Each structure stands twice: as C-alpha cells, then as structure tokens.
Amino acid sequence: MWEKIECNKFYRVAVTVALAAFLTLLADKGIDRFITDNRHPIRSWGEAYAVPDEIARGAKVIGRIYRDKVRRCPVESRRSAVRHDGLTYDVPDKFHRGGKDGTEYVEIEYDVSALPPGQYRLEVDLTYRCPERTYTSIQPPIHFRIKGTG
C-alpha cells in the first residue's frame, strides 16, 4: 500500500515539474506568438475614388478609400500620379499613424498641386510597419481630373 502512495506522489511531482518547465519555456520564448497580433492590417480593399473627381489646378485631391482594416500600424505611403498619356509624376510620400481600424472607409488628402491639367490615375503603395513585421499592400487606384488646358 505504501508503494502505491509513494508512486502517486512521484507522478504528481514529476507532472508538476514538467508543467512548470513548459510554462517557463513558453513564457520565455513562445508566448509572444500567442499574444502578438500577426494579421495584415488590411484584410481586403473595396473601391477608391476622388471626392470630387475633378479639381482646379493647384488644389489637392481627396481620396475616399473603402477597406476592411483590422488593426492599426504606422504606414508609409509611396505615391505617384499617371497622366492619361502615360507620363508619371511623383506625389509627395507620407509617413503617418494609419487610419482607424473598423471604419468603412478613410478619406486622405493627396498633394497634387504641382501637377499640370489632365486626367490622372493616383497609385499608392503602402508599407505597414507593425511591431512584429512589415507588411506591404497596393491601394486601389484613384482616378481624377485637374481642370484647365493641357
């Protein structure tokens, strides 16, 4: 009978020590994998368009971009405007905190004041700098027109 009691104590101690060792290892190396959000900030893109789609020369264009954003990370946007004849213009890049997650759309102002009149397609490449890694995404293009001759 004493052997059975000693055997049960031994297994309880062994299981307790093994569990403590596992939890220590998990806390030291692996817990970040369970508590860190590893999702891409943008789950999916919807439509994107200018509001309004025609602006005066020297004005800025406002883009309304629909997206399913699930988390907020700082973002760098690299921007260019492609005119109807294929000529590409740089549009000032921007680094910002990123739009709020859980909203249906975001409105962003783009400085296209240096562009000549014409029909354009705004292209935006995004780099999200999240704590655990960097994610990239391409925003849907925004079409707009700058009034004037040319």
CA dihedral over 43, 49, 52, 57, signed as positive or negative: positive
pLDDT value at residue 46? 97
pLDDT value at residue 90? 96
Chain segment 120-147, per-residue pLDDT in tens: 999 999 999 999 899 999 999 999 999 9
Lateral strand order in the sheet of 105-110: 42-50, 61-69, 105-110
Q: What is the pLDDT along the chain (150 residues), one digit of tens a residue?
A: 556 556 677 777 777 877 776 766 666 555 555 577 889 999 999 999 999 999 999 999 999 999 999 999 999 999 999 999 999 999 999 998 877 878 899 999 999 999 999 999 999 999 999 998 999 999 999 999 999 865
pLDDT value at residue 36? 76
Which among 136, 135, 95, 90 is positioned nearest to 115, based on CA atoms?
A: 90
Please tell me the pTM assigned to this model.
0.74
Q: By CB neighbour count within 10 A (0-12 exposed, 13-18 middle, 19+ buried), where does 115 fall?
A: buried
pLDDT value at residue 77? 96
